[in-house]
């Protein structure tokens, strides 16, 4: 159990125990952060991946056992007002210092099969909500930090997907640009912002064929785990990671480099 609390982090996208977001939550709790955890049950129900009836509560319970103060907030990030409400709730503690965005909308479709409604929802969740979360987060931080103090840290998860996952890949590409823009535009406010690409991690969506292909394309000889991503996120949220800014970082065991 940790007792060295660093402040609060708003973490989105922790609807299932078997998810990258859940691994990040536990990693941040171990590192001494308090958490405001966002989830959206209808999305997880729609995808029908492996999940328990009380996964968000179980993740929160594990983080609390590590000494973290945790609040759970259910919200649909396709709602234009949801990002502001989430940040306001997280900021009500008075110690909001981090924003980690692990949420997504992800439904496979191609150029010929994607519908306008699906396209719009992907961009609303993956791109617009990312911008609005960052905007609201920055507005709750000092406009003129003392000296070179790092006042806030932002990390977002992205993906390589493109063909046959068109709206997801396109909206994640927009997310990348938004976060890099934040690193530049908000740097004078003491904000550090980075994107993490975790590569292939089986959180319940892989078929045996996809799993075998992913391992075969990874020089490290295995798929990634949520804790692999959590380790990098915790580093970026630490003082030791403060000099890393405006980067798209690959934490993927060398996937597709061989």
Residue 130: CATH number of its domain: 3.40.50.720
The count of structural domains within the chain is: 1
In a domain, 258, yes or no: no
Find, among 175, 204, 181, the residue nearest to 193 by Cα: 181
Evaluate whether residue 39 is within a structural domain.
yes
- pLDDT of amino acid 140: 94
What CA–CA distance (Å, rounded) separates 240 from 90? 24
The DSSP secondary-structure symbol of 38 reads: E
Residue 154: which of 214, 102, 106 has the closest Cα? Answer: 102
Mean pLDDT (whole number) for 56-70: 97
Residue 54 lies in a domain: yes
Is 257 a domain residue? Answer: no
Kindly report, residue by residue over 6-41, the tens digit of the pLDDT: 899 999 999 999 999 999 999 999 999 999 999 999
- Axis crossing angle, helix 20-30 with helix 55-65, rounded to the nearest 10: 20
Question: 82 in a domain, yes or no?
Answer: yes
71: confidence class by pLDDT, cuts 50, 70, 90: very high
Determine the pLDDT at residue 1.
47
| Lookup: tokens for 254 | 């060398």
Give the model's confidence band at 5: pLDDT under 50 very low, under 70 low, under 90 confident, else very high.
confident
In this prediction, residue 27 carries a pLDDT of: 98
Does 175 map to a domain? yes
* pLDDT at 2 > cutoff 70: no
Which strands sit side by side in the sheet containing 248-250, from one edge to the other?
Answer: 70-74, 33-39, 7-12, 96-101, 152-157, 191-197, 248-250
Q: Domain range holding 183?
A: 7-250
Rounded (5°) CA angle 186-132-43: 135
pLDDT score at 169? 95
> What pLDDT score was predicted for residue 227?
93
Which pLDDT belongs to residue 4? 64
What whole-number distance in Å separates Cα of residue 14 and Cα of residue 197?
Answer: 17
Does residue 127 lie within any of the structural domains?
A: yes
Average pLDDT taken over every residue of the chain: 93
Residue 256 lies in a domain: no
Averaged pLDDT, 152-165: 93
Q: Which residue has the higher pLDDT, 47 or 94?
A: 94
DSSP 85: H
């Amino acid at each position: 159990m940790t007792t060295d609390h660093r402040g609060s982090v708003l973490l989105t996208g922790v609807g299932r125990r078997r998810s990258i977001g859940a691994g990040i939550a536990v990693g941040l709790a171990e590192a001494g952060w308090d958490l405001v955890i966002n989830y959206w049950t209808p999305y997880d129900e729609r995808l029908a991946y492996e999940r328990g009836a009380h996964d968000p509560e179980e993740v929160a319970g594990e983080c609390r056992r590590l000494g973290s103060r945790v609040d759970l907030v259910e919200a649909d990030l396709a709602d234009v007002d949801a990002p502001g409400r989430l940040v306001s709730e997280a900021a009500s503690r008075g110690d909001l210092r981090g924003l980690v965005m692990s949420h997504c909308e992800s439904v496979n479709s191609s150029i010929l099969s994607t519908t306008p409604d699906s396209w719009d929802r992907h961009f609303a969740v993956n791109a617009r909500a990312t911008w609005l979360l960052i905007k609201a987060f920055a507005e709750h931080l000092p406009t003129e930090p003392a000296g070179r103090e790092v006042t806030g840290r932002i990390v977002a998860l992205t993906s390589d997907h493109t063909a046959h996952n068109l709206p997801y890949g396109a909206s994640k590409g927009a997310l990348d640009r938004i976060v890099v823009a934040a690193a530049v535009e908000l740097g004078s406010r003491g904000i550090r912002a980075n994107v993490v690409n975790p590569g292939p991690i089986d959180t319940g969506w892989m078929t045996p064929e996809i799993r075998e292909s992913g391992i075969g394309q990874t020089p490290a000889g295995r798929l990634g785990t949520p804790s692999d991503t959590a380790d990098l996120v915790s580093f970026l949220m630490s003082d030791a990671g403060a000099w890393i800014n405006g980067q798209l970082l690959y934490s993927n065991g060398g996937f597709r480099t061989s």
